[in-house]
Chains A and B, each alone.
Chain A
Amino acid sequence: MEQDRIRNFAIIAHIDHGKSTLADRILELTGAVSQREMREQLLDTMELERERGITIKAQAVRVSWRGHQLNLIDTPGHVDFTYEVSRSLQACEGALLVVDAAQGTEAQTLANAYLAIDGGLEIVPAVNKIDLPQADPDGAAGELGDLLGEPADRVVRMSAKTGAGVPEVLDAIVERIPAPSGDRDAPARALVFDSSYDQYRGVVAFVRVVDGSFSPREPLRAMAQGTAFDAEELGVMSPARMSVDALSAGEVGYVITGLKDVSRLRVGDTLTSRRRPAAEPLPGYQDVKPMVFAGIFPTDSDDYPELRDALERLKLNDGSLSYEPETSQALGFGFRCGFLGLLHMEIVRERLEREFDLDLLITAPNVAYRATTRTGEEVEVHNPAEMPRELEQVEEPYVRASVIVPKDYVGAVMELANERRGTFDHMEYLSEGRVLLLYELPLGEIVLDFYDQLKSRTRGYASFDYDLAGFRPGDLSRVDILVGGEQVDALSLIIHRDAAYDRGRQLVERLREEIPRQMIDVPIQAAIGSRVIARETVKARRKDVLAKCYGGDITRKRKLLEKQKKGKKRMKQVAGIEVPQEAFLAVLNLDSERKR
C-alpha cells in the first residue's frame, strides 16, 4: 500500500470511556471481523484485561476503510502506563481522543492528549456514549474543544455501543491524520514498539516500519543491542495473525524473530537489515525509572526459581519492570521489584499469580529515596531496611498531580492533599461545574492509598494523574518493627516524621492481634533508631496441656504433638518467636484493608 493511503493512529481514552468497544466496532464496520465472530472487546486478549476492563499491552490491528489502510495501535489507559502510551504514540501520526459524553474529560485523558500533542500527533477529538440518557454531548464537546483549542463542531459525536457516528470517526481519521512520510528507498529501519513471547516461535516483535522495506527470511539486526537474527515471518494482525511478503515504510506489523532468549531484543530498539544496514538507529525510548518498589516472595520457598523465570518473562515486554534478588530473614528468598506505580504493581502481581500460578507474599510498597550519609556518600535506596541510619539528608520523589473534579468536591480534594503534605499550585474551571486542581505531592503519599481516598472522598467523581517532578528533601524517618527485640526486616518503613507514631502504633497493634500467644511474653515494638515509639505485648499463654493421657490415648496424643511440631516448622521464626505467615500478610495488607 502506498504511504499516502496509510493512517496510523492510537485511541486515547480513560478507563470505561469506551475505547475497547470502539475498537470492536471499528473491526466490525471495516469487515475485519464478522458480527458472528465478534467477541466483545476483541483487542483485550489477556484474561486479566478482560476482567478489569482495562487494556495493559499495546497491540496493533490493520483494517481497511474506503481504500485506506488503517493501523490501530492500542494504548493502555491508566496513570501508571504513560510510558507505554508514549511508546505507542511514537508509532503513530495521529490519535483519536475519546471522552465519555456523560462524564467529561478526565485528568488521565488530558495528560495523554498533551503527550500526543507534544509528540506532534494530529488529534481527532470524539465524544462517546451519546446514546446514554444522562449524556451531555454538547457540554462534553465544548469542554474538549476548549481544552484542545478547537471549535466544538470539530468534535465527532458517536456511540461505540450502537455504532452511530463511527463511520464519521473513521472518515475523520482518514481526512485529518497525515499519512506517514518515510523514505521507502532508504536502508530499512523499524521501531520495535512492543513484543510478546510465543512458546514455539520465540520473541515476536511489533514494529512500525519507518524507512525502507523488510522481507521474510531477511537477516536482521537490532541496532542498540546488536542482536542478529533472521526474520522467520513477517505479518500483520487483522486481527488474526496473517503473514505478509513485505512490511514497508509507514506500515505496522509483527516480526517473528525465533529468539528464545527474551533479553536479547528490547522494546524501543531499531531493526535494520544486515544486507543493507541503516547508519543511524531511530530515537527509541528513554528508559523509565521505576519509582515504586516492593519485595515479592514466594509463599513456598521452593517456588523461587519459578518466580525468577516468570519475572524474566514479564520483563520481556514490560521494560519498566525491574527486579533484583532480595533475601529477607523473615520472608526468605525473593525479589525486590520496581514498578511505575501501584496499578503496575497490582497487575504484575496478578499476572504472576494467574499466568504463572505462583503463591506470593508482597511487602508494603515504598518509593525510591536518595539518601546522603553523614560521610557525604549518596545512595539510592529501594528498600527501607537498607536505609542508612546515620543520615545527613533524605530526598523523596515528588509529583505534579492534576485532579479533575466536580466543583462540589474541591474542598474534599484540598483536605486530602493537605493531609498528604501536598502543596497547592493552582486551580482552574474547565467548565461551569468542573475544576482542575494542581498540586505537588510526595509520591510516597500517593503510593500509600491516595488514589483510593480520593475516589472515596469524591464519590468516585475525581480523576487523577501525575508526572514526576523530581526529588526533594523530606523530614523522613525510618521506622523499624521489632518482634521479641529483633528487627523484622520486611516490615521496616520510611515515613514522614509526623505520621511515624500513628503508623508505628497501627503496625504493632495489628501484629499483636496476629501473632499467636507463645510460651513467653513477646514484646512488639516500633522504633526510630533506638527510640521506641510504640509497644505492645503478646501475653504468654498460661496453659497448654493435653488434659488426659492414659493407655488408650498415647498414640493419638503423640500424633497430635508431632503434628504441632511440624506446624511450628512452617512458621517463620523471628528471635525464636513463631510468627505465622498470615501475620506478615495482615500487616502488609494494612493499607489495602484500610481502603475497604
Chain B
Amino acid sequence: MGDVRHLYVHLPFCAHRCGYCDFVTVVGRRGQHGAYVDALLAELELEGGVLADDVETVFLGGGTPTFTEARELARLLGALPAAAEVTIEANPETVTPELAELLRTRGVSRVSLGAQTFQPRLLGVLERQASPDDVRRAVHTLRDAGFDNISLDLVYGIPGQRASDLDADLAEALALDPQHLSCYELEAKPGTRFTVAHGEELARQADAMEGYFERVVDTLNGAGYRWYETANFCLGGERAGGRDLRARHNLGYWRGHDYLGLGIGAVSTVFRERRRNLPSLPRYVAALVAGERPSREVEPIDEATHARELLMLGLRLDEPMAVGDVTDALDHDALGRLVELGLVELARNGRGGELRLTRRGRFLGGGVTSELLVEAAD
C-alpha cells in the first residue's frame, strides 16, 4: 500500500475536436469505449499499489469524459476508489438529467463545465458544440440532481472578443452562481488548426486584450470570489458558507503532491519519477489486454528539480509558501530585487520566512517565477 492520494483518469473521447485543443483526444469510436475502460481498470490494477488507503481526490478529465458511453462511464466510476472529492469534466451539451443522476449515484461530487463563452459568435470561433442555453440548462440540471459544487470554465482572449463581450461572459457566469470558476487566456498553441486560422488576428489584438486578465480578476473578486490560483477562483468568505471550495485535486498538483494518472497521455508523478503514457489508443489497449504496462516516457525528478517545481507551482497560489521548502531553488538575488519592485512579499517568521507573490506579482507570475528560479544545472 502506497501513499499517493490523488488519482487522475483520462477519458479522451470527444464528439468533435475543437480547433484550439491540444489535449490527447479521440473523436468518435463509440465501439471502443468498453475496451478502453477495460484497459483503464487493468492499468489501475497494475499501478494501484501506489495509492493510499484513503484516496483524497479523483479527477476524470478529457477529452469529454461525459461523452463516454453511459454504461461504460458507470462501470468505470463504480470501480474507482472512493474519495472525498470526485470531479468530472463535462461539456454542457452532454449534461442530461440521466447523466446527472448517473454521476450523482456513482460518487461524483463536483462537475467542471466547459462553458468557455456565452457569445454564440465566439463559441463558433472556438468550434464549441454547446449553445449559451446549453450551459444554463446544464447548470440547472446538475443542481436539480443535487450537485452543490459546480465549476465553470471560461476562456478569454478569443479572436474578435471585445471588452464588452468579456464583461457579458463574466456577468452570465456569475448569474449562474457557480461555486468555482476557471478562467483561461486562450493559448494559440503552435501547430493547432486554430493558430493557423487565427494566429495573426490574435497577435494584432494582443495590445487591446492586455487588460482582460485584470478585468477578470477584478470582476470576480468584486463578486466575492477568491483568486486562489493564477487561473482559478472559488466562492470565499461568507458566500462559501464555511466550505473550502478550492479544487482539492488540483491543489494537490500545486502543492507538489504525488499523483497517479491512468489512460492515454496521462501523467503520473510518483517517488521522484514522472511518467507519461504515450497517446496511442490502440497500443494502450493492446498492451493492457496483454497484461503489460502501456508504453510511457519516464523522467526522473531529482531533488533540485522537485524543489524548482514546488516553487513554480506554489507561486501560483494565494497561500504563502515556506522559504525553507524551496530555498535551494530560489535565486536569492532575484528575490531581493523582486521584493524591492513590489512583486514578491516576504514575511519573516520562524524558519526562513514565507513567500508569496503580491497582487501585481501574480499578474506577472510567469516572468517573476522564471526570475526567482535558480538556473537549472545542465
Contacts and interface: CB of A to CB of B under 8 A. Distances in A.
Interface in A541-596: 541-552, 554-555, 557-558, 561-562, 564-566, 568-569, 576
B363 A562 contact: no
B261 A551 contact: yes
Given A554-B253, A554-B313, A566 B214 contact: no
Contacts, number: 104
Given A541-B364, A554-B309, A557-B312, A568 B230 contact: no
24 contacts: A543-B185, A544-B367, A545-B185, A547-B185, A547-B230, A548-B231, A549-B312, A549-B313, A549-B316, A551-B259, A552-B267, A552-B276, A554-B274, A554-B313, A557-B312, A558-B308, A558-B312, A561-B312, A561-B366, A562-B308, A562-B370, A565-B371, A565-B373, A576-B337
Given A562-B375, A568-B370, 4 more contacts: A544-B368, A546-B365, A548-B184, A549-B313
Contact of A551 (B214, B269, B364, B365): B269
B370 A558 contact: no
A542 B267 CA distance: 32
A562 B376 contact: yes
A564 B250 contact: no
Interface in B176-233: 184-185, 187, 210-211, 213-214, 230-231
Which 5 A/B pairs are nearest by Cβ-Cβ distance? Answer: A564-B370, A544-B367, A561-B370, A552-B267, A544-B366
Interface string A532-544: 0000000001111
A519 B184 contact: no
B94 interface: no
Given A541-B364, A543-B364, A551-B253, A558 B309 contact: yes
B373 A562 contact: yes
B299 interface: yes
B305 interface: yes
Given A551-B261, A554-B253, A576-B337, A543 B309 contact: no
Q: What DSSP secondary structure best describes chain B's contact surface? A: mixed
B71 to A, nearest CB: 27
A458 B166 CA distance: 58
Interface in B354-377: 362-371, 373, 375-376
A520 interface: yes
A457 to B, nearest CB: 38
A564 B305 CA distance: 16
A45 B371 CA distance: 52
Interface string A461-496: 000000000000000000000000000000000000
Contacts of A566: 375
Contacts of A552: 261, 265-267, 276
Contacts of B313: 549, 554
Which among A520, A542, A551 has the greatest number of chain B C-beta atoms within 10 A?
A551
B371 A568 contact: yes
A410 B9 CA distance: 83
Interface in B249-275: 250, 253-254, 259, 261, 265-267, 269, 274
Contacts of A519: 338, 341, 343, 364, 367-368
Nearest to B305: A558
Given A519-B343, A551-B261, A565-B375, A543 B253 contact: no
A544 B185 contact: no
B8 interface: yes
Contacts of B299: 555
A548 to B, nearest CB: 6
A519 B342 CA distance: 10
Nearest to A539: B210
Nearest to A576: B337
Contact of A550 (B253, B265, B365): B253
A564 B367 contact: yes
Contact of A543 (B8, B214, B341, B371): B214
A558 B308 CA distance: 8
Nearest to A561: B370
A517 to B, nearest CB: 10
Nearest to B187: A547
A544 B312 contact: no
Contacts of B274: 554-555
A542 B312 CA distance: 20
B367 A541 contact: yes
Contact of B364 (A545, A562, A568): A545
A545 B253 CA distance: 17
Nearest to A543: B213
Contacts of A550: 250, 253
Contacts of B308: 558, 562
A434 to B, nearest CB: 54
A543 B231 contact: no
A549 B363 contact: no
Contact of A547 (B184, B214, B363, B375): B184
A520 B265 CA distance: 39
Contacts of B8: 551
Given A551-B269, A554-B269, A545 B365 contact: yes
A520 B344 CA distance: 13
A544 B365 CA distance: 6
Q: Which of A546, A547, A576 has the most CB of B within 10 A?
A: A547
Nearest to B361: A519
Contacts of B254: 549
A542 B250 CA distance: 26
Contacts of A561: 312, 366, 369-370, 373
A519 B375 CA distance: 19
Nearest to B61: A550
A551 B316 CA distance: 14
A547 B365 CA distance: 10
Nearest to B253: A551
A550 B266 CA distance: 11
B341 A545 contact: no
Interface in B266-325: 266-267, 269, 274, 276, 299, 305, 308-309, 312-313, 316
Highest count of chain A CB atoms <10 Å: which of B187, B211, B337, B369: B369
Contacts of B363: 542-545
A565 B370 contact: yes
A565 to B, nearest CB: 5
Contacts of B364: 519, 541, 543-545
A520 B341 contact: yes
Contacts of B316: 549
A564 B375 CA distance: 10
A548 B375 CA distance: 22
Nearest to A520: B341
B270 to A, nearest CB: 11
A186 B284 CA distance: 98
Contacts of B371: 565, 568
Contacts of A545: 185, 213, 230-231, 362-366
Interface string A40-67: 0000000000000000000000000000
A391 to B, nearest CB: 36
Interface in B1-51: 8
A371 to B, nearest CB: 38
Contacts of A546: 230, 365-366
A561 B316 CA distance: 13
Contacts of B214: 542-543
Nearest to B363: A543
Given A519-B367, A557-B312, A543 B261 contact: no
Contacts of A548: 184, 187, 231
A557 B261 CA distance: 18
Contacts of A555: 267, 274, 299
Contacts of A542: 210-211, 213-214, 363
B231 to A, nearest CB: 6
B148 to A, nearest CB: 23
Contacts of B343: 519
